[in-house]
Amino acid sequence: MFHIAVCDDLQRDREKICLVLKEELEAFDADARFIKFGSGNALLKAWEKKKIDFHIVFLDIFMEGLDGIETARRLRASGYKEAIIFLTTTQDFAIEGYEVDAAGYLLKPLEKIKLRQLLKRLFKREKPALITLRQGNKVYTFAPSEIVYIESNRNRLSIHTVKETIFYYGRLDEIEKILPEKSFLRCHQSFLVNMDRVYGAKDVFHMETGDLVPIRVRERRAIREAYFRYMTERNL
């Protein structure tokens, strides 16, 4: 499920934004759930509880109380790394947007063409911002960053995410091709790990979930070196 937060202090604008988004997201075959907030403080409280991870946040800049720019700053400071898109009646806040790594600006009322272009850019980066998998009647949509590790048993994949384990019929190398090369490591014929979710490496990878993932014996040294090199470069 693709979670989208829409934060605007005007209810009619929130409803219009969700309606337009729902129509445009159909073109991307994304199963979306919209979580609406009437203030920046309400959005921040929901994020801090972390009952829901937002894949994209749409933020109105001009809100009473905590405005959109300050809300975005606090979101980033608390660890939110996904896309933030500002909704505004002016582009005067572009500099402030760069400070919080905004994915884009949309002028109100929303223009469908510009919204479609922005969504296309988000979905068609060098590696996709989101992954959508279909298994029978079920649709799974999640960010690569949510994956802890993937295990393959013949053609049955167990995709362990921070929220759930998704069972999917496919090949591990096919999934590997659509994941960010920099942060994912093939440590074994049957395992692929998200190095951002590893908290220790010796003979096996210790994952943040408490699971242990095997490292290919013959390449153990090279694989561990690749992991430590990634962690060193990431923390520079």
CATH of the domain at 179: 2.40.50.1020
Number of domains the chain is built from: 2
Residues 114 and 195 in one domain: no
Specify whether 136 is located in the same domain as 118. no
Same domain, 114 and 139: no
Give the tens place of pLDDT for each residue, 28-52: 767 788 999 999 999 999 998 876 7
- Is residue 10 located within the same domain as residue 111? yes
pLDDT the model gives residue 235: 47
The three state secondary structure string of the chain is CEEEEEECCCHHHHHHHHHHHHHHHHHHCCCEEEEEECCHHHHHHHHHHCCCCCCEEEEECCCCCCCHHHHHHHHHHCCCCCEEEEEECCCCCHHHHHHCCCCEEEECCCCHHHHHHHHHHHHCCCCCCCEEEEECCEEEEECHHHEEEEEEECCEEEEEECCCEEEEECCHHHHHHCCCCCCEEEEECCEEEEHHHEEEECCEEEECCCCEEECCHHHHHHHHHHHHHHHHHHCC
Q: Which domain holds residue 30?
A: 2-123
108/16 same-domain check: yes
Of 114 and 124, the structure prediction assigns the larger pLDDT to 114
Q: How does 72-88 read in b/e, with b if 16+ C-beta sit within 10 Å?
A: bebbeeeebebbbbbbb
- CA–CA gap between residue 148 and residue 206 (Å, rounded): 11
pTM: 0.55
Same domain for 111 and 7: yes
For tokens 């600006």, the residue is: 105
Last residue of a domain, one of 56, 89, 123: 123
Statement to judge: residues 91 and 147 lie in one domain: no
Clarify whether residues 17 and 107 are in a common domain.
yes
Decide which of 53, 88, 123 is a domain's last residue.
123
Per-residue pLDDT of 182-218, as tens digits, reads 889 999 999 999 998 988 888 999 998 999 999 999 9
d(CA 10, CA 203): 55
Residue 75, token pair as written in the block: 């979101």
173 and 105, same domain (yes or no): no
Average pLDDT value for residue range 171-186: 89
Average pLDDT over residues 49-58: 82
Does 57 lie in the same domain as 7?
A: yes
Which CATH number do you get for residue 23? 3.40.50.2300
- State the average pLDDT for the chain: 86
Select from 88, 123, 158 the last residue of a domain: 123
Do 166 and 219 fall within a single domain? yes
Do 181 and 100 lie in a common domain? no
pLDDT for 93 = 55
